[in-house]
Structure 1
Amino acid sequence: MPRTHEVTNQVPPHHGYDAAADPALLEAVDREGADWALPEIHRLGVLAGSEQAAEWGRLANENPPVLRTHDRYGHRIDEVEFHPHWHELMRTAVAHGLHAAPWTEDRPGAHVARAAKFIVWSQVEAGHTCPVSMTYAAVPALRTTPALASWLEPLLGSRTYDFGLRRPDTKAGLIAGMSMTEKQGGSDVRANTTTAVPAGDGMYRLTGHKWFTSAPMSDVFLTLAQAPGGLSCFLLPRVLPDGSRNRIALQRLKDKLGNRSNASAEIEYEDASGWLVGEEGRGVATIIEMVNTTQLDCVLGGASGMRLGTIRAVHHATHRRAFGRALVDQPLMRNVLADLALESEAATAAALRLAGATDRVAGGDSDEAVLRRIALAVTKYWVCKRAPGHAAEALECLGGNGYIEDSGMPRLYREAPLSSIWEGSGNVAALDSLRAMSRQPETVEAFFAEVGLAAGADRHLDAAVAGLHKQLADPAEAEYRARQLAETMALVFQAALLQRHAPGAVADAFCASRLGGEHGGAYGTLPTGVDVEAVLERARTEGAGG
């Protein structure tokens, strides 16, 4: 090659590290009672940080799913075709129990272990975690109808990924999807017009159009329809018990901003057959079990993306030189990187605390159930709202190299807004926190009891808690102020967790910047006096091999 094409000052590939070697993650796994899962979490982390897994994710995204409505002879088939590496990603996720392990493992910390693995493996490729998350969330909804749960739960919990359209009882494992929204209603599912009529054989016949069906290649779906007794929840298989195809027509796949490797579709129910889940007229109450569970995964996904953006930015800055020295040694870049790392640590701490609460709720802890109700609502709002800006700043750390597709940063950037839209956009999540406090005043008490465990640890945190008490005591225009309330509560929740569990350098910098007013409107505006090196050390992957 001509000398002009000698490659110098380029960053080596970001491969060959353990994606689970994340101090914030590992510390949270330990304190939330899932240390027994650490060997498997690290095994998955080594795979997630490998060149092989990176290639799986790249090709799954560069070769998105294709809808095949008919075969060559004109028969309606409604199949979705995926790149082979999509199936490798799914096979790995299912084998490690990301889809349903907590429902099959009767041991403390099962949801925490699963959450940690979800954060680690999502860094490879986020799109395929949609059906994984939906399968995880389907189980508690199905448990409202024991007959369906006893039949399907062992198949949904199986660690065998068995793709293809066949009768559910002939498969080694099942994947579940969800189909709620319609074009006229969106988040307002009570505006749904799909109808369900009793068929007299224990099933219902559904007719209607669904605007956004997640994972349409799934084996079974939870869906909402208007039954004689009101809006109700139903389970629809793609293949009926007699082996015939259910009357579910895939009209088109959505052309989405991100999440490209995953299929999302508009579908038509044409007298499709399904079983009632829960009671007639209680559809929202039944499916809310699924929604609450997937909201946790929105937080986990946001934390995963932040961790990936942070370590990629730090890796690049460590190996790239400009103006005579490595980027990571330049004060302003160190400020930016440390700021990204703080946001990542706070998201991870909150996500794993909520996973721990999920474990304790499953064990019958009513106090944790009350805390989880409010803490999940505000954390879902804030972590998901912060993710796009975090991804944009991490991309900018790579400069032009981050703006090209080969870097993987554009994919991370496109993926970042999804969690803030899925399972309740920003307004819906913020208003949900108001609803929780209004209908269950004990959630406010539980929240202040939780953050009170860090009382006296930091003056900024103490002041923020006192201010929050005053805000919540004033109900005037609460709906108008819902976003501000949710943001403040989420920040206080994160700050209290960091003060109790993170190194002082991390906790104090977070409180000073996020609560103390010593921060600008962009990342990279941390105050002076922050122990930047101590913060950055927790975000390095150099030396974090398998």
Structure 2
Amino acid sequence: MEHQSYAYGRNHFLLDPDLPALLKRYWQGWEAHRGELVAFGELAGGEAYRVADHVDKEARPVLVMHDLEGKRIDRVRLSPAQEALLGRLAAINRPPYEGGSWHHHFTQGYLLADPGLYCIQTITGCVIYSIHKYAPEFSAWKERLLSGEAVGATWMTEVQGGSDIGANQTGAHWDGESWRLNGEKYFSSGAGLTDYAIVSARPQGAPPGPKGIALFLVPRLDEKGRLNYRVRRLKEKLATRAVPSGEVEFTDTQAHLIGRAEEGIYYLLETLTLSRLANACGAMGLARKAQLEALFRVRQREAFGRPLLDHPLIRRDLTDLAARIAGGLALTFRAVAAWDEAWTERPPYSPRYHYARLLTHLAKARTAEHGTYCTQLAMELFGGVGFVEDFAIARLAREALITPIWEGPANVQALDTLEVLFRKGAAEGFEGEFVPRLEALQTQEARLALAAIERTLTHLRSLEPAQAQWHAKEALRTLADAASVALLYDLETVGGERYAKLATLYARRFLGGGEYPSWALEEPQVWAGEMSQEIPM
């Protein structure tokens, strides 16, 4: 790995220029955990980086369908290196349930970033969340999941429905002793690895559409120790090879109802919000790793008689990477802060919870765009070898492709954004937070962001529902960018002048539609962060 990656073997926490400011701003008392985060940064840049590459290229999970006696077991065989690492990574799910902060979890998820390795922790975390909040009678299973002794999963997707949960056809009936499920899930992450899954199904007699969906907890083995469902096959995927995903069949599968059946769709959406935040962290984490690879590359590679770093066009691309990553991270950590304040709420929810949902939609959709763009741009900075699978940068770009799709593509995020903006009243919360902030700044870029918010919300309010949907994706992008500008300015108080400059760059590019101003050419602290100290000017 050391011959194929510039970022391997380096501490990804210590190299990160934005985390200290973000943590200082949003996570009170984070310094008490600094040593743990430094150690995790070493793991993320070392063993985890290497194992992810090893699994991707040489040791994908393999489905083992039968044991020595010919019984169906439907278990995956993992690389011993991945198996050992997963046991160590399980601890990232513990903080929120031990009096800690969600920032602790998501910071580690961002540092880890690898979609396969982090996905396993995320889907396990969603099962832990559901048990903790709505099914405490299964606390023993929760402890197994928290310890890393067991793995969880979230299985909702059906082939005819895709992102439309209301189209689910998996049925649930009560046989007098327990709930039984019949149906199939078409894309089930963690298939063959999972010990406890949360599964969406429609109880007999439930109304059509999403309001008829209930949420069930399904163990791998039923109460008699028999295989409780079958894994038909694993999927071949372009990316995220470290997490096995496949098709799962339920035939009179024993299941346990979580909470109240009529509230199942709300529980499901809560876990989806949690997963979307993880998706945003993963997208930005991949972008950061790609940026690190590119920063080391351009310092060591020469073209036209001088280091790549000395060329203005290269510095322009590095500026693009820095602005996108800082803006995406600022929005993501603000969304995490909102979730940290609202996650204990139960239906019916308060405006505070719906506002957390809105920020999550904005962060998930926009960071996915930034993540894919950043990894592809970093690949381009490598030149021809960037497209060769031998090198880590190619895998990062390939992995990033999944972030706009998992947990709902931009179309779904846009529809959900319209719902929470106007049906749930989150537009007032958004205006209440960002309009006064931007009005107080009195800069040209702040006025640009303020005008974008006012123009976008006024336009959406004037439209019929079908017309609003037509404009929803661009509106989502604009609101996310305007919020990112305000949040970058906000970081100046804890992170210094660099963030005011990043806010200016971000606003000029993504709200003004122009090129980055050329003064950034001589601002290595902006586009290289902590590494600028090693760059001669």
Quick one: distance in 2 between partners of 1:411 and 1:423? 21
Q: How big is each residue's C-alpha offset from its partner over 1:506-535, in whole Å with a ceiling of 9 and x where there is no partner?
A: 22212222222223xxxxxx2222253121
Is the CA contact 1:456–1:462 (under 8 Å) kept in the aligned structure 2? Answer: no
TM-score, reference length from structure 2: 0.89
Residue 169 of structure 2 is matched in structure 1 by 193
**SS of residue matched to 2:215:** strand
Is 1:20 matched up with 2:13? yes
Q: How big is each residue's C-alpha offset from its partner over 1:459-486, in whole Å with a ceiling of 9 and x where there is no partner?
A: 2232332232233223321110000110
Q: Which 10-residue stretch deviates more, 182-191 or 499-508? A: 499-508
Which sections of structure 2, spanning at least 5 residues, go unmatched?
207-212, 493-497
Q: Which 10-residue stretch deviates more, 492-501 or 277-286? A: 277-286
Q: How big is each residue's C-alpha offset from its partner over 1:431-467, in whole Å with a ceiling of 9 and x where there is no partner?
A: 11001112112x1121122223243433223233223
Alpha-carbon shift at residue 17 of structure 1 (Å):
2.1
Q: How big is each residue's C-alpha offset from its partner over 1:229-250, in whole Å with a ceiling of 9 and x where there is no partner?
A: 422111100023433321x111
Q: Which 10-residue stretch deviates more, 359-368 or 134-143? A: 359-368
Q: Size of the alignment, in residue pairs? A: 505
Is the CA contact 2:170–2:201 (under 8 Å) kept in the aligned structure 1? Answer: yes
**2:49 alignment partner AA:** A
**2:194 alignment partner AA:** S
Q: How big is each residue's C-alpha offset from its partner over 1:337-396, in whole Å with a ceiling of 9 and x where there is no partner?
A: 111111111112222222222222247796653431211111211111232222111101
Is the CA contact 1:25–1:349 (under 8 Å) kept in the aligned structure 2? Answer: no
Aligned equivalent of 1:208, options 183, 204, 209 = 183
C-alpha spacing 1:188/1:87, structure 2 compared with 1 (3 Å) = same
**SS of residue matched to 1:273:** strand
Q: How big is each residue's C-alpha offset from its partner over 1:377-429, in whole Å with a ceiling of 9 and x where there is no partner?
A: 11211111232222111101001121111211221111112121111111001
Which sections of structure 1, spanning at least 5 residues, go unmatched?
1-9, 163-173, 520-525
Quick one: distance in 2 between partners of 1:178 and 1:456? 44
Higher fraction of helix: 2
Alpha-carbon shift at residue 298 of structure 1 (Å):
0.8
C-alpha spacing 1:273/1:435, structure 2 compared with 1 (3 Å) = same
Residue 313 of structure 1 is matched in structure 2 by 294
- What pairs up with 1:276-287 in 2 under 5 angstroms? 276-287=257-268
Quick one: distance in 2 between partners of 1:146 and 1:182? 24
C-alpha spacing 1:14/1:384, structure 2 compared with 1 (3 Å) = closer
TM-score, reference length from structure 1: 0.88
Residue 56 of structure 2 is matched in structure 1 by 61
Alpha-carbon shift at residue 539 of structure 1 (Å):
6.0
Quick one: distance in 1 between partners of 2:260 and 2:76? 32
Alpha-carbon shift at residue 48 of structure 1 (Å):
2.0
**2:245 alignment partner AA:** S
Residue 527 of structure 1 is matched in structure 2 by 517
**SS of residue matched to 1:540:** helix
Is 1:418 matched up with 2:402? yes
C-alpha spacing 1:543/1:483, structure 2 compared with 1 (3 Å) = same
C-alpha spacing 1:286/1:54, structure 2 compared with 1 (3 Å) = closer
- What pairs up with 1:500-515 in 2 under 5 angstroms? 500-502=490-492, 503=498, 504-515=500-511
Quick one: distance in 1 between partners of 2:136 and 2:8? 47
**2:275 alignment partner AA:** T
Alpha-carbon shift at residue 44 of structure 1 (Å):
0.8
Alpha-carbon shift at residue 133 of structure 1 (Å):
0.5
Is 1:450 matched up with 2:426? no
Is the CA contact 1:44–1:117 (under 8 Å) kept in the aligned structure 2? Answer: yes
Aligned equivalent of 1:49, options 32, 39, 45 = 45
Is the CA contact 2:4–2:391 (under 8 Å) kept in the aligned structure 1? Answer: no
| CA RMSD in angstroms, aligned pairs only | 2.2
**1:24 alignment partner AA:** D
- What pairs up with 1:265-280 in 2 under 5 angstroms? 265-280=246-261
**SS of residue matched to 1:233:** strand
Residue 522 of structure 1 is matched in structure 2 by none
**SS of residue matched to 2:160:** coil
**SS of residue matched to 2:486:** helix
**2:71 alignment partner AA:** H
- What pairs up with 1:84-123 in 2 under 5 angstroms? 84-94=80-90, 97-98=91-92, 100-107=93-100, 110-122=101-113
C-alpha spacing 1:292/1:11, structure 2 compared with 1 (3 Å) = closer
**2:226 alignment partner AA:** S
